[in-house]
Amino acid sequence: MWRSLVSLWQLPLVTMLATASTSLLAADRYRVDSEHTYSSFEYLHWGLSRQSGRFDKNSGNIQIDVSQDGSTKSGSIDLSIDATSVNTGSDLFDKTLRSASFFDVVSFPVIRFQSDKLLFDGEQLRQVEGQLSIKGITRPVTLQISHFHCRFMLLYLKQACGANGEATVKRSDYDLGRYVPFVSDDITLRFSIEAIRE
C-alpha cells in the first residue's frame, strides 16, 4: 500500500515535469532547399593559386529550438552531401576526385555533417559544433557562421532560414591527403544553406 501511495504521489510530479519540459521549448523543423544549398572547398594548389570546387547535391534537415520566453535558442543539423556531385569545372579532375585516390564515391557516396550544438548570441547563430564524416572517418568540426537570417518567404508561403559558415580541416585526417604538401593539407570548407520550414 505504501508503494502505491508513493506511486500516486510521484505520478503528478512526473506529469508536471514532462509538461514543463515540453512547454519550455518550441521546435521548428526545416527542410534543406537543395536548389539554394551548396557545399564548397578551397585549397592551395602547388603554392600557385587558391583553387576551389563544390558539391551540387545537398539535402537534410535543420531544427531550431526556442525557449518559451524566447530568451534562448538551440537546435540541430543533419546535412547529407552527395560526393558524386563534386564539381570543379573540369570533367577530368572531377573523375579523379571521385576515384578511390580521393573521395572513393563507389564505397562512400555520402559526406555527412551532423550537429546538436547550435550556439546563438541572441538572434544570431554564431557557431555550429558537429561531426563531419568523410570516407567512413568521423571527426569534430566547428563551423564559424558569418551570416544567418530567417524570414517569411512569399515564394513558399512559409518561413525560411539561411546561413553561411566555414571551417578549416586537414585532408589527411579523412584519407584525402594525396599530393601533400605540394597541394595544401589544410582545406577550407564553406557551406551556403537555405532551408524551408516544414
Q: Which among 64, 168, 69, 166 is positioned nearest to 124, based on CA atoms? A: 64
Q: Where are the domains of the chain?
A: 25-197
Confidence of residue 24 (pLDDT cuts 50, 70, 90): low
SS3 content of the chain, % helix, strand, coil (to 5): 20, 55, 25
Distance, CA of 79 to CA of 198 (rounded, Å): 16
**What is the tens place of the pLDDT at every residue in 45-76?**
999 999 999 999 999 999 999 887 877 899 99
Tell me what percent of the residues of the chain surpass a pLDDT of 70. 87
Kindly report the CATH number that applies to the domain delimited by 25-197. Answer: 2.40.128.110
pLDDT at site 39? 97
Contact 33, 195 (CB under 8 A): yes
HEC readout, 42-94: EEEECCCEEEEEEECCEEEEEEEEEECCCCCEEEEEEEEEEHHHEECCCHHHH
> Is pLDDT at 17 greater than 70 in this prediction?
no
End-to-end Cα, the chain, rounded Å: 49
Per-residue pLDDT for 21 more than 60?
A: no
Q: Look-up: residue for cell 516544414? A: 198
Question: In angstroms, what CA-CA distances link 96 with 51, 90, 102, 110?
Answer: 15, 10, 7, 17
